[in-house]
Chain A
Amino acid sequence: MGRKRARSETAKQKKRIRVRTQSHRTGIVQDHSVKALTAIAREAAQKQAARLKADMVAGSIFWKWLETKTVTPVFESWDKTVFRIVYAGLDPLSVAGSLSAGGRFNVGGAQMQQHDLFPRLTMAACLYVASSIKCARKEAGEPLGNAEEYELAPKTSLHLWQLEKVAVQLDYPGLLDLILATPMMALWSMQKAPLISQLLGNFLRMNGGDGIVFTSTKDSSEKVVAVFAKDDGHAKSLFTSKRIN
């Protein structure tokens, strides 16, 4: 008797959350759930979780592989002025956002939730700059609205890993493509698993150097530099900044 009542309750519940509609034009009958929004939100969350899981698996395989590797320094000395664009009075030498959210070549707090899968992985910041203001604008995506443009002059010569040469040396299948497919500007705080480019950045940082230099995907005649910065103080010890626009 109890089971019968329970079954009837379930049936009633099902009935309550289903909506049957029929198109006046085509006559097609469709069933919808009035809880559909929850289902859509769940579906979107599941899609994201599946992608993060795939990122986690790919990342942990790459990290294990990377730990068995040694890399010979292939540095480029850099003493040229670089450029950065910020909004609403952000200090151009601030790396706080990079440290909390992460970036293409640095693992931020957002990606450190599953750190047990990545031994020796550390949270660290990068200062992302471009070799020309034109390139910085392209990387940021114009129009830039009320952006503030800065030129940053290095106080000393920086030793930068040459990404293209590192990729050849490491010889991991499709490494350069995987890295360049990772967006420069993205909502990194949403990315909860470290990506291959971030793991590589962490690995190179452990092996010395002041940063990574690579060809801009938005302007192949220009370079983008990811400078390894411990914090704002460290970034300020590397550059002097001057507002140009």
Chain B
Amino acid sequence: MRASSANRYSAEDLGSIKNHLGFLSSDLARLRPRRFMETTGLNPTSLSRIFGIQRTTAYRDEIPIPKEIKQSLIELVIATDIAYGLMGKDLAQTVRWLMSPNTMTFGDVPFDVIMRGNGKELIAWLASRAGLTPGAAF
């Protein structure tokens, strides 16, 4: 969304999360488990394991973001936002990249890399690849 003419920048211009994959609610304050399942192909059981929520909760449209995963989830959204842009706004490709073993991460799945706490490194690499920060492509 563009800022009003009085302002030079919008929140997104200054780095606000775009949430292209819709993992979070529009106010970015709540997790959308159903959307998460539809997008990633995870089933309620897997999702309940990953997010530490009850299986029945996974069917809800929106839930409060569990405290334990807040940081990882934000890094996940930032990483997928950049990856989505890099992959020509192709949702299937973005999800495939997120959930498949990757040579760039020495065989680890990007989702796991983020969950174990290496999200910042992954975001830095994606940001460079997207031309947002200086870096070597080769």
Interaction A to B: yes
Interface residues of A in 68-103 (CB under 8 A from B): 84-90, 94, 97-98
**Chain A interface, >50% SS class:** mixed
A23 to chain B, nearest CB (A): 8
A21–B54 touching, CB < 8 Å: yes
A11: which B residues are within 8 A, CB to CB? Answer: none
B137 touches A45 (CB 8 A): no
Q: Is B2 in contact with chain A by the CB < 8 A criterion?
A: no
CB neighbours (8 Å) of B124 from chain A are 189
Determine if B104 and A37 form an interchain contact, defined as CB atoms under 8 angstroms apart.
Answer: no
Secondary structure of the B contact surface, majority rule: helix
In the complex, what distance in Å separates the CA atom of A139 from the CA atom of B51? 37
Contact A37 B50 (CB under 8 A): yes
CB of B129 within 8 Å of the partner chain: yes
Tell me, yes or no, whether B26 is within 8 Å of chain A by CB: no
Measured in the bound complex, the distance between the Cα atoms of B126 and A88 in whole Å is 13
Known: A45-B117, A88-B128, A186-B103. A36 touches B136 (CB 8 A): no
Q: Assuming the A-B contacts A41-B115, A183-B103, A186-B103, are A87 and B134 also in contact, with contact meaning beta carbons closer than 8 angstroms in the complex?
A: yes
Q: Are B137 and A51 in contact (CB under 8 A)?
A: no
Does B69 reach chain A (CB closer than 8 Å)?
yes
Q: State A187–B118 Cα separation when bound (angstroms).
A: 10
Contact flags (1/0) for B29-52 with A, using CB distance below 8 Å? 000000000000000010011111
Chain B contacts of A36 at CB under 8 A?
Answer: 48-50, 52
Bound complex: CA of A48 vs CA of B118, how far in Å?
11
* Chain A CB within 8 A of B130 CB: yes
If the complex has contacts A19-B55, A146-B131, are A190 and B138 also in contact, measured as CB distance less than 8 A? no
Closest to B126 in A: A187
The 8 Å CB contact of B137, one of A23, A87, A187, is A87
Indicate if the CB atoms of A139 and B138 lie closer than 8 Å.
yes
Using Cβ atoms and an 8 Å threshold, which residues of chain B touch A97?
Answer: 135-136
> Is there an interface contact between A38 and B131, defined as CB atoms closer than 8 Å?
no
Looking at chain A, what size class is its interface with the partner chain? 35 or more
Instruction: Tell me, in angstroms, the Cα distance from A191 to B128 when the chains sit together.
Output: 18
Is A34 in contact with chain B by the CB < 8 A criterion? yes
Contacts of A15 in B (CB 8 A): none
Residues of A within 8 A of B131 (CB): 87-88, 145-147
List the B residue with the shortest CB-CB distance to A130.
B138
Of all chain A residues, the one with the shortest Cβ separation from B116 is: A44
| Interface: A196 (CB within 8 A) | no
Q: How far is the CA of A19 from the CA of B51 in the complex (A)?
A: 13
Q: How far is the CB of A53 from chain B (nearest CB, A)?
A: 14
Interface string of A160-204 (1 = CB under 8 A from B): 000000000000000000000001111101110000000000000
B56 nearest in chain A by CB position: A21
Residues of B74-114 at the interface with A, using a CB-CB cut-off of 8 Å, are 86, 103-106, 108, 112-113
The 4 A-B residue pairs with the shortest CB-CB distance in the complex, in nearest-first order: A44-B116, A90-B134, A140-B138, A146-B131
Apart from the given pairs A35-B52, A187-B121, 8 other A-B contacts in the complex at a CB distance below 8 Å = A21-B55, A36-B50, A37-B51, A88-B131, A88-B135, A130-B138, A136-B138, A187-B105
